[in-house]
């Protein structure tokens, strides 16, 4: 089923999270223009409110954060399903005097937290965790000292937790990653007045800098944009314009993959807003070919691999995805979820420990698909149903509200 039209996806989830959290640490008022209102984002709103920060979300288009002095929360902070909330807020809690407890839902409680516990402990925080590495966490804030820390995985959440703690620490904090992860935190810290040094995969931050509130314009989320983009790219006769998409180089790896697969994609009307590069993406349907996704590009496409797997299902040849073991510790095991879903529909796909082999083009049939409560799995298989023109029964459609409220309605409006 081809797709025609013009769409402006919701505001970027990563940038909305950071505008709230970093805005809460800035002096004065931060105005967040066109924020994403989703379950994950509301978890962050509730978290910073529990730290004594005044947040006004009554206007759908403009939120106000009155930043300033944070305090020990009166109650347990519930991060819900949001790993970003849990990890970044823990970085803030590390310097707040008193004891804070942060937890999450059953899915988030299975996700690894040792990767932030270790560096924050080295900086001076005292953290207790269930099993030594899972939520809930009890965080006793202390006076922190900067560290030089090399992360084991390229993770924007881990890097951001360390940098947010480093903002309150004495001295210099240095984070070195094995590959460059999303850099929205660095961009926003700079935009609100901090001075950082960035050299490839290395970020250096001087502690105890003063931030000042500003207007932050939230661009369209590229991860959400990837779903209609793949629908258009994989169907002959389709033509789609995606407006105001964030084209930060650390976020558009999926576009490079689709172009490598033969997709007809052009960026127009590019410009800068609030420290981020944005533009309009024009996608036309074209026959796709298989590719290999591996190595240093994986951190930049980790959230888009489920929908890129859908593109691979309709591409000529064998697509191989390697080095993506991080997918197994997302909201669900996304490697297993994609493989199980494709096989349920008659697809030819094999799982590997850190990836999968997808053999296209597939001739698929209607069927039932388990989402495992994962928003990206649900949206990916919905798009697959449109490209293949088959009926798929998803066991959980509400989970998309985590990142893209109104997703199904928006996609139906694009059906030609």
From CA 257, how far away is CA 392, in angstroms rounded? Answer: 26
Helix, strand, coil percentages (3-state) for the chain, rounded to 5, are 35, 30, 35
Q: Burial, 227: exposed, middle or buried (Cβ in 10 Å; 0-12, 13-18, 19+)?
A: buried
184 closest CA partner among 224, 147, 222, 152? 222
Known active-site residue 236: no
* Phi, psi of 55, rounded to the nearest 5 degrees: -125, 125
Contact 192, 212 (CB under 8 A): yes
* Phi, psi of 407, rounded to the nearest 5 degrees: -55, -50
| Residues paired with 35 in a beta bridge | none
Contact 203, 241 (CB under 8 A): no
151-154 contacts at long range (C-beta below 8 A, 24 or more positions apart) = 151/115, 151/119, 151/175, 151/176, 151/177, 151/178, 152/115, 152/178, 153/115, 153/178, 153/299, 153/326, 154/178, 154/179, 154/180, 154/181, 154/201, 154/299
Q: What SS3 state is found at 35? A: coil
How many residues are recorded in the chain?
Answer: 416
Q: 183, 244, 303, 374: which one is catalytic?
A: 303
From CA 293, how far away is CA 118, in angstroms rounded? Answer: 30
From CA 228, how far away is CA 121, in angstroms rounded? Answer: 42
From CA 395, how far away is CA 164, in angstroms rounded? Answer: 38
Q: Burial, 279: exposed, middle or buried (Cβ in 10 Å; 0-12, 13-18, 19+)?
A: buried
Element (H, E) at 165: helix 156-168
Contact 177, 159 (CB under 8 A): yes
| Residues paired with 272 in a beta bridge | 277
Beta strands in 338-387 (DSSP E): 349-352, 355-360, 367-369
| Residues paired with 241 in a beta bridge | 6, 282
Which of the residues are catalytic?
Answer: 303
């Amino acid at each position: 089923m081809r797709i025609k039209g013009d769409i402006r996806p919701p505001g970027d989830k990563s940038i909305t999270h950071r505008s709230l959290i970093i805005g809460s640490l800035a002096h004065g008022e931060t105005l967040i223009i066109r924020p994403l209102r989703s379950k994950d984002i509301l978890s962050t709103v509730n978290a910073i409110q529990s730290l004594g920060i005044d947040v006004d979300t009554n206007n759908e288009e403009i939120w106000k954060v009155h930043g300033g002095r944070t305090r020990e929360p009166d109650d347990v902070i519930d991060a819900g399903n949001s790993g970003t909330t849990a990890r970044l807020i823990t970085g803030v809690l590390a310097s707040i005097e008193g004891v804070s407890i942060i937890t999450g839902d059953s899915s988030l409680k299975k996700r690894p937290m040792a990767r932030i516990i270790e560096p924050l402990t080295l900086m001076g925080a005292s953290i207790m965790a269930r099993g030594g590495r899972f939520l809930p966490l009890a965080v006793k804030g202390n006076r922190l000292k900067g560290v030089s820390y090399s992360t084991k995985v390229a993770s924007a959440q881990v890097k951001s937790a360390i940098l947010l703690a480093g903002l309150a620490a004495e001295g210099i904090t240095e984070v070195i990653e094995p590959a460059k992860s999303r850099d929205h935190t660095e961009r926003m810290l700079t935009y609100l007045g901090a001075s950082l040094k960035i050299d490839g995969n290395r970020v250096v931050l001087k502690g105890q800098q003063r931030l000042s509130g500003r207007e932050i314009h939230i661009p369209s989320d590229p991860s959400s944009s990837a779903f209609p983009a793949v629908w258009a790219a994989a169907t002959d006769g389709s033509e789609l314009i995606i407006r105001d998409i964030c084209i930060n180089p650390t976020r558009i790896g999926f576009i490079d993959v689709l172009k490598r697969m033969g997709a007809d994609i052009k960026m127009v009307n590019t410009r800068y807003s609030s420290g981020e590069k944005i533009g309009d993406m024009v996608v036309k349907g074209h026959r796709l070919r298989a590719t290999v996704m591996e190595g240093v590009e994986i951190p930049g496409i980790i959230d888009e691999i489920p929908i890129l797997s859908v593109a691979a299902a309709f591409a000529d040849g064998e697509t191989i995805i390697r080095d993506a073991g991080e997918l197994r510790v997302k909201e669900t095991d996304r490697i297993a979820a994609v493989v199980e879903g494709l096989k349920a529909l008659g697809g030819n796909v094999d799982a590997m420990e850190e990836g999968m082999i997808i053999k296209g083009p597939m001739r698929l049939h209607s069927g039932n698909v388990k989402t495992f409560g994962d928003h990206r799995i649900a949206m990916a298989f919905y798009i697959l149903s449109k490209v293949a023109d088959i009926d798929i029964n998803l066991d959980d459609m509400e989970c998309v509200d985590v990142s893209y409220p109104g997703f199904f309605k928006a996609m139906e409006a694009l059906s030609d």
